[in-house]
Amino acid sequence: MKLFNMSYPDEIPEAVRRMSEASDAMSGKGMNIEVMVATVGAQIKVLRKQFGLTLDDLSRRSAVSTGLISQVERGKGNPSFATLVQIAHGLEVPVGRLFHLTEQLSPVVRRDERRALDFHNTGATDPDDARYELLTPSLNGALEVIWVETQPGHNTSKTPFRHSGEEFGIVLSGVKDVILDGVRHRLHPGDSITYSCSIPHWYENSGDEPSTSIWVITPPTW
């Protein structure tokens, strides 16, 4: 298990500065500490997912209980600074990175600032034949909007999806097959599809060129 030095002289001033600036900015907009905690929690969840860590993994690495990490990620409670320091070191990032609050509060997501999502465990034939990018600024909202680019032959049939919520997709270019409970629906540019996520579903690029599409999921799955 990783051991932690709780002094962190180089990191604390920067983190405190970020927290102070974010708090001042939010108070000017009528926001409160609950919003700040929710945003920090969302940042922790994003980093944990990006690094391929489960809650149990991060708990072992940070010496913070799984329950407390889950609570923080959901924006609940009021975690101590020491707890956030431990979580940051479990993620192996500077603690100041958890306080990138002003950027996360912006409603705009620039094209070159989209957050990449790692869906390599979806059963694709090649981990490099698909790209997923988050179009929404936060993972705490009611919607998850994803930009998807797949190469010919991309196929997720090995691990069909099934989860709660509703899903909508529209194809912008190329061809994309959506298979719902064994029924194949072939979508061309401009075609869209809506379905319950509780139906087993998977995807395939059955065309001979890259496919680009946008997917909206509620509630968020990532």
Q: Please determine whether the domains at 12-105 and 111-218 fall in the same fold group of CATH.
A: no
Q: The whole model's pTM is what?
A: 0.55
Which CATH class, in words, describes the domain spanning 111-218?
mainly beta
pLDDT recorded at residue 82:
84
- Do 163 and 221 meet the contact criterion of CB atoms below 8 Å apart? yes
The shares of helix, strand and coil residues in the chain, as percent rounded to the nearest 5, are 35, 25, 40
In this prediction, residue 181 carries a pLDDT of 93
Name the residue ranges covered by the structural domains of the chain. Answer: 12-105, 111-218
| Rounded Cα distance, 222 and 215, in Å | 13
Structure confidence at residue 211 (pLDDT): 97
Tens of pLDDT along the chain (222 residues)? Answer: 232 333 333 444 444 444 544 444 444 444 456 777 888 888 898 889 888 899 999 999 999 999 999 999 988 878 888 888 899 889 988 777 787 644 445 788 889 888 887 654 444 444 568 999 989 886 556 788 999 999 999 999 988 888 878 999 999 999 999 999 999 999 999 999 999 999 999 999 999 999 999 999 987 765
For the chain, the maximum distance between any two Cα atoms, rounded to a whole number of angstroms, is: 59
Looking up tokens 């919520």, which residue turns up?
165
pLDDT of residue 25: 43
pLDDT of residue 116: 83
Calpha distance 116→41 (Å, rounded) = 18
Q: Which residue's structure tokens are 């924006």?
A: 75
pLDDT of residue 138: 66
Q: What is the pLDDT of residue 113?
A: 83
Q: What are the Cα distances from residue 81, in Å, to 19, 88, 124, 193?
A: 10, 10, 40, 45
Model pLDDT, residue 222: 58
Q: Is 84 helix (H, G, I), strand (E, B) or coil?
A: helix
Q: What do you get for the CA distance between the two ends of the chain, in Å?
A: 27
- CATH number for the domain running over 12-105: 1.10.260.40
